[in-house]
Structure 1
Amino acid sequence: MLVMRANSLLNGFSGVRPLVVNTMLDMLNKGVHPIVPEKGSVGSSGDLCPLAHMVLPMIGLGEAEYNGVVMEGAEAMAKANIPLVELKAKEGLALINGTQCMTSVAAHALADALMLEKAADIIGALTVESLRGIKNAYDPRIQEVRRHSGQKEVAENMRRLLEGSKYVTTQGELRMQDSYSLRCIPQIHGASRLAIDYVASVVDNEINAVTDNPIVLVDTGDVFSGGNFHGEPVAIAADTLGIALSELGSISERRIAKLIDPALNHGLPAFLVKHGGINCGFMIPQYAAAALVSENKVLAHPASVDSIPTSAGQEDHVSMGTIGARKAAQILENVRVVLGIELMCAAQALDLQEKRKLGAGTAAAYNVIRGAVEFMEEDRVFYKDQKLAAELIADGTLVRAVEEAVGELK
């Protein structure tokens, strides 16, 4: 938030002194981190409440974290040897009237989403192998006639990940077609990618935009009151991000359900455990995945379609963008867990069948999960394994290992 606000002010249309921006940069460089409540913004006029908390330490108020300790803002500034600022005309408004809270949360979620979309392809490919899926669905000619770039990227990833695999089959070898959760991975994952690309374009722009009010035009001396503080562009993008991520979780849960169901998993044991009846196997992890996917359906309802008047009706339409960004971040966290469960299920399914050669990329993915989570011979406490699998996705371990094997994925 601090760096985004400073960057916005540096455009030179906000009417603040260099001293104000330099103080913000000193706070960043010396580790004075304001304490900002995550709730309380309606997304217009900007993120007034969160940004006010962000700048309170600059004037000796509020709280901040310094060297790992939360303290009064004035104390943190003094310990860091940063002089307090006495704000002049326009500066207070320039500091708090903007979209930096919602944009910061959305940017963090977006960065994680760009990693997650690759992980979803990797894990989906491992499931395809574990179910001896049909590789023809990823033929480039199918993707070309549909034309969507996201679909083409995912299909290319699938081909590279599965290259050399002896698990995958061809059309008619074992069956004529796979269920949608396998066959339509390029179409479904690809659609989420298109949405995430749109979100990236909005966030990239907003990071460098002037979002306060009024705007000061130094060259002409004009001062105009406009609406650049309104968070609607980010609000719609954040809602879109949440929906796109929710779909990645939704299809992953369907693949998990297929893997554990003996009526659908093409000969694997029920719930992916050798000795059923006395063992639940992966029955309960699928419960957790189903719960998270269902929670995401609620969270994916757009915040931006809501508005409530503020400031005695003067601000009669607001964006709710900060709420949308926070929801997207929560959806992303839930999807990581779901994909982690699928990763464990796919590895378990592979270990329950005749050993064959894995694909160039999926072999690396299998080694990563087996380096953290061992084969389940009989029931054990699962939550630690679920956490480990999700962390392999969150910290980039899974994607890095696969890209070391096959090169950078789309």
Structure 2
Amino acid sequence: MAARTDEIAPGATSLAAAGLPPLVLEAKDALALVGSNALSVASASLAHRRTALVAARADLVAALTLEAIGANLSPLGATVLAARPHPGQQVSGRRIREVLADGDLAQGVRPTASLQDPISVRTVPQVHGALLDQLDDLERLLDVELSCAPDNPFLDVDTGAFISNGNFSITGIAVAFDALRIGLAHVAQLAERRVAILVRQLRQGVPLVGQVQHVTSATGYVTPLILAQTASALVAQVKHSATPISLSGTTVGDGIEDHASLAYPSIRLTEVALDHVERLFAVEALLAVTVIAVQTRTRPCRLAGPVQRLRQAIVDVTRRSQTTAEVVDWVVEALRREQRGDDLAEMRAPVTPPPVSWFDRDVARHDQLH
């Protein structure tokens, strides 16, 4: 007899009702089902890929802002960055130079606005590069984890001995993702400070009514001050998530399981931080496009090709929006689509559903009956 959907039934009964044969486990299958390492390593690999995409997006959005404010581009030069040859900052600087290469600002046709810009502008390759170096270290760690045998007990094939061990511990992944969120937080801090620079340009000497009128033509009724407050809230959440979670475990299992890496919670918290960072980049890009729109009315100039494409993509999507939240969401998607040269979809692990408690079942059953 088929089990009712509102009752708990043995697994065999439920499988039979669904017409599914029971799974026959083979060697190591049971351990994989009850252990969390496979889930953690797989989720870590997806989160690593997504972070790499977001890091590339960070360079693209920063380049958009540099173009908008007429930044001094000399700190991005290959020679000056090579004087401190960390691999990450070389990559970040090169990507930004490539984005800006064919515009009037990079060609020297448009004068720079100042001799020395704020730190959030002139240290972009260094701060973004630190995150890229972290990603390189994490990739090497994941290469090992994806190719190893973390079994306990371990079977020594040569001697036939089973050896009790601790290779199941993935503390390295937990610590790496705790550190990765700190790197993301520094990138977010720079973005929020650049947002403040853009807002200052839009608000300088312009009353609130004028600000609304300026922005309406470019982005659809989003005032700079509202976006600045949004950026402040987002960066606060990213910084809060940077607190290490891998040190928060407790002893379980009567003192035998007396250490847990908490790798999976660390990975999931990183996914949340990435969501906030992407929305922060959308706010920065939205304001940068608005600054460019205001400036080009009086001082037309030739924008770099990638900047112009991104600007047009943002203007197109904001015309379809009805609320500030929709504007930001559409810009997030526009930034993802504009990330050329990458044929992979946005990488992220599926959200794990929360466990269903007896209380939840009782409430659901009560609602069905009444």
TM-score category, normalised to shorter length: 0.7 to 0.9
* TM-score normalised according to structure 1 size: 0.71
Which residue does 1:368 correspond to in 2?
313
**Counterparts of 1:333 and 1:142 in 2: how far apart (Å)?**
33
1:221-241 deviations in Å (ceiling 9; x for gaps): 111110111120110112122
For residue 178 of structure 1, report the CA deviation from its aligned partner. Answer: 0.6
Q: Percent identity?
A: 26
Cα RMSD, aligned residues only:
3.2
Structure 2 residue runs without a partner (length 5+)? 1-9, 344-370
CA distance in structure 2 between the partners assigned to 1:182 and 1:169 by the alignment: 19
- Distance in 1 of aligned mates of 2:115 and 2:269: 40
> 1:74 matched to which residue of 2?
15
Contact residue 106 and residue 329 of structure 1 kept, 8 A: no
Q: 1:403 to 1:214 in 2, by over 3 A?
A: closer
Alignment coverage as a number of residue pairs:
325
CA shift for structure 1 position 208 = 2.4
Residue among 255, 274, 279 paired with 1:313: 255
Instruction: Indicate the larger mover: 342-351 or 216-225.
Output: 216-225
Q: Deviations over 1:257-303 (max 9, x none)?
A: 110024xx796857893648998712112212211110111111111
Residue 247 of structure 1: how far off its partner (Å): 2.1
CA contact (8 A) 2:203 2:224 kept: no
Gaps of 5+ in 1: 1-58, 62-71, 405-410
Alignment of 1:248-263 (within 5 A): 248-262=187-201
Decide whether the 8 Å contact of 1:260 with 1:269 is kept in 2.
Answer: no
**Structure 1's 287 and 73: CA in aligned 2 closer, same or farther, altered over 3 A?**
farther
Q: 1:89 to 1:181 in 2, by over 3 A?
A: closer
2:125 pairs with one of 171, 182, 186 = 186
Return the TM-score normalized by structure 2. 0.78
Matches of 1:90 and 1:366 in 2, distance apart? 52
**CA distance 1:268–1:227, change in 2 (3 Å):** farther
Amino acid at match of 2:98: R
Structure with the larger helix share: 2
Which residue number corresponds to residue 387 of structure 1? 329
Deviations 1:168-190 (A, max 9, x none): 58698542111111111111111
Deviation at 1:132? 0.6
From 76, 90, 101, give the equivalent of 2:39. Answer: 101
Tell me whether 1:227 sits opposite 2:171 in the alignment: no
**Could you list the per-position Cα deviations for residues 105-140 of structure 1 after superposition, in whole angstroms to 9, with x for gaps in the alignment?**
222221111111111101100000110111111111
The letter of the residue matching 1:318 is: A
Single out whichever of 304-313 and 94-103 deviates more from structure 2. 94-103
Q: Give the distance between the partners of 2:215 and 2:267, measured in 1 at CA.
A: 44
2:347 maps to: none
**2:70 counterpart letter in structure 1:** R
Asked whether the equivalents of residues 303 and 320 of structure 1 are also in contact (C-alpha less than 8 Å), the reply is yes
C-alpha distance in 2, partners of 1:168/1:314? 62
Distance in 2 of aligned mates of 1:390 and 1:289: 14
Partner of 2:79: 141
Q: Distance in 2 between matches of 1:153 and 1:266?
A: 34
SS in 2 for 1:223: strand
1:110 matched residue in structure 2: 48
| Range with bigger deviation, 221-230 or 172-181 | 172-181
Give the Cα separation in 2 of the matches to 1:180 and 1:270.
28
Alpha-carbon distance in 1 for matches of 2:96, 2:144: 31
Distance 1:88 1:129, change over 3 A: closer
Counting only pairs closer than 5 Å after superposition, residues 186-205 of structure 1 correspond to structure 2 as: 186-205=125-144
